Amino acid sequence: MRLLADHAELACRWQEGLAHFGTAAHGAAVATLKHSRELVELMGHSAQAKVGLARQAITAANAPSLLGSQARWLSVWVDAMRLAQSNAGALTEINSRAMSSWLRLAGNHTLKQQGSAA
């Protein structure tokens, strides 16, 4: 009789562990999807800005005077550096939010495991 009770308890613990894993996996998938969307949005914004930079570069290359060309190239470089800075900042924020989400998921999963072990 004791053997059956041990098997039932083991099956119950196994099912609880599987349920916790399913919850954690779902949370991870949702977080990954959210952060993937943010990255795709950043890439789209960056691509549009790069098209604008290419147009500026074409205009600078076709400038009739050297002075006009230099001023336009300076504008291209300044805008390119601003874009790089903006992208780096946005990527840092996205990655920071992603790490926070993963740490929160790991913490929640650990707390659930500790709760079920008690």
Per-residue pLDDT, 112 = 60
Give residue-wise pLDDT tens across range 81-117.
Answer: 999 999 999 999 999 988 888 888 777 766 665 655 5
The answer for residues whose C-beta is within 8 angstroms of residue 118's C-beta and 6 or more apart is none
Q: Give the residue extent of every domain in the chain.
A: 2-117
Task: Give me 38's structure tokens.
Answer: 């943010």
Give residue-wise pLDDT tens across range 24-54.
Answer: 778 778 888 888 999 999 999 999 999 999 9
pTM of the model: 0.69
Q: What are the b/e assignments for 63-88, b being 16+ CB within 10 Å? A: eeeeeeeeebbeebeeeeeebeeeee
Cα–Cα distance for residue pair 10/19, rounded to 1 Å: 14
